[in-house]
Amino acid sequence: MSTEDRATQVVVIGAGVMGSAIAQVLATAGCHVVCCDRSTDQLAAAARLVVHGRYGWERAVERAKLSAADATAARLRLTFADDLAAVASADVVVEAIPEDLAAKMALFAEVGGRAADAVVLASNTSGLPVVALAAAAGRPSRLLGWHWSSPAQVMSLAEIVRTELTDDDAIATVTELAVRCGKHPVLVRENPQAWGFVANRVLRAAIREARLVEAEGVASAADIDAIMVGAFGWPVGPLSVLEGASEGWGDDRGGSVSTLLG
């Protein structure tokens, strides 16, 4: 199967800040995407965000990042659903629900019972044990981590997380799909005893130290952020990084961000 033919049917589970953005990126890349969420209100919000949000298709056209024709085509490739029926015909399923291990395991147990044997399952977890999710799905060789950076429409990193049981074909499928999305995939190995893989382990350490510096009275939070942006070229400082990840990147927020916690 060629790269262009591979994994064109994608289901994204979770229509929050990250899930809706991931669905948008995948649809823009030419995939046929169903974004699922139990909440109809969340689905309605996601449908608005992918079109009218700060990094939505309308702004992409205004900024000449995307042609109007391509934006229209992408919109037609993205649908929303309040059930998981689309999982049965998916090539790839991307989970993007909140960081709750029990909830993710329960979801993957259900997905594992619905999906075809060849489907590749990917979790956007920030650092929960991928091996536990794989076991819950009942197909440990077909599940891996695909940790996106926020905002997903802008950031280029694709942190691909393999366990000791992930097969090479699953890795290749997600890696090729990430490239189709314009991302730069980096493959890492999971250490189930450590939270955060690579990006968030390092970022978490930076946030912890920044908070200590602030508590010591060495510098204010705003100044710490300004120093890290100025000294290392971070798009946003470590003490500002969580807000955008959890609440989205509205017009009143400055800049984009690197890989986020959560």
What sign results for the dihedral spanned by CA atoms 31, 124, 258, 79?
Answer: positive
Do the bridges between strand 120-123 and strand 92-95 make them parallel or antiparallel, or are there none, so unpaired? parallel
Q: Assess whether the previous peptide bond of 151 is cis (omega < 30° from 0).
A: yes
Do the bridges between strand 120-123 and strand 143-148 make them parallel or antiparallel, or are there none, so unpaired? parallel
Contact 128, 104 (CB under 8 A): yes
Taking phi over 0 as left and psi of -120 to 50 as alpha, with beta for the rest, 167 belongs to beta
Residue numbers annotated as active site: 147
Tokens of 262: 């959560």
